[in-house]
Amino acid sequence: MTSATFLFTPVEADLRILADNLTQLVGNRHPILYAAAEHLFGAGGKRIRPAIVLLISRATTLEEDISLGHRRLAEITEMIHTASLVHDDVVDESHIRRGVPTVHSLFGNRIAVLAGDFLFAQSSWYLANLDNLEVVKLLSEVIMDLAAGEIQQGLNRFDTSLSIETYLKKSYYKTASLIANSAKAAGILSNVSPESANNLYNYGKDLGLAFQIVDDILDFTGSMDTLGKPAASDLRSGNLTAPVLFALEEQPSLEILKILIEREFAQEGDLEQAVKLISDSQGIPKARELAAHHAKLARQHITDLEPSESKQALINMTDYVLSRLY
């Protein structure tokens, strides 16, 4: 598997600056929130979202250095993503994230919710200070989408009638919206044409969908070390993802799997039986095909960018997303 870090070589120095800035941006007026932020930003995430922003910034400003606005946008993107993870972990009652204890397991639910709110508020303040209304609108929409996705996921728990289309819409809200809108925002800060900005949006959207589908496959095929959280945790909590939905289309496992899910794995061995039914079905191979389809679309959306190391890294990113499965 290709390392994400290797892909980020064109923006390696930019990411170091970003890492130094993140905790400082939160500020130290609130010791507990500052401690929570230090814990979050030091938890070893791959920084894929800000890296994409920085790569697009460099790919669209070939003759000059990227602006402070580009750098701040990358930082805002990571702050929004991190805030959403804090809230997700509270809602999902997750105790491990990226292989380390979650904020709420260390500081309690109240501090975790406030820490997430604080990061959203801070990111909004820095966003407003970019003084670019179009970019403000794009990233504000992301924050609404994140909430909408979490609500939709909560309403659809253990719902075996869920369609792939509804699953993809929720995946857009929860994952792809941030990547898509921040990619477009980076292009806008580089003064690209409206058509190019839309292409960057679509690149981020399809890459984000591929990324989420792969994550959902890894929930069944990955180890605790790979995932940084317990396997089958989504299924256990009633979050039905692509492998499950494709498996539910098959006979004869359909009826058994449906019963197990709809009784919310109430009996001993229910979850293990459901995981085996999904693993023995075509659910995972079909989900792989869906992820590959969106990765291919993502590549096609950036063909108009001028050749550069950063453009190549963006292309390679679509292969990296799929390589995580192997």
Q: How would residue 227 be classed by pLDDT, with cut points 50, 70 and 90?
A: very low
pLDDT at 233: 87
Q: How would residue 119 be classed by pLDDT, with cut points 50, 70 and 90?
A: confident
The mean pLDDT value of the chain amounts to: 89
Q: Which of 167, 206, 186 is nearest to 301 (CA)?
A: 206
Average pLDDT over residues 94-100: 72
What is the residue-wise DSSP string for 184-229?
Answer: HHHHHHTT--HHHHHHHHHHHHHHHHHHHHHHHHHHHH--HHHHSS
Average pLDDT over residues 77-102: 82
Per domain, the residue ranges of the chain are: 4-324
The CATH number of domain 4-324 is 3.40.50.300: no
How many CA atoms lie less than 13 Å away from 225 in the CB half-sphere?
0
What pLDDT, in 10s, does the model give residues 142-194?
999 999 999 999 999 999 999 999 999 999 999 999 999 999 999 999 999 99
Q: How would residue 45 be classed by pLDDT, with cut points 50, 70 and 90?
A: low
Q: Which alpha helices (H) appear in 60-193, and where do they start and end?
A: 68-92, 103-107, 109-128, 133-155, 164-171, 177-189
Q: How would residue 295 be classed by pLDDT, with cut points 50, 70 and 90?
A: very high
pLDDT-wise least confident of 96-100, 173-177, 249-253: 96-100
- Helical axes 31-41 vs 68-92, angle rounded to 10°: 100
pLDDT at 44: 56
Q: Is the pLDDT confidence value at 98 over 50?
A: yes
Q: Which of 26, 33, 39 is nearest to 100 (CA)?
A: 39
Q: Which residues contact 140 (CB under 8 A, 6 or more apart)?
A: 124, 127
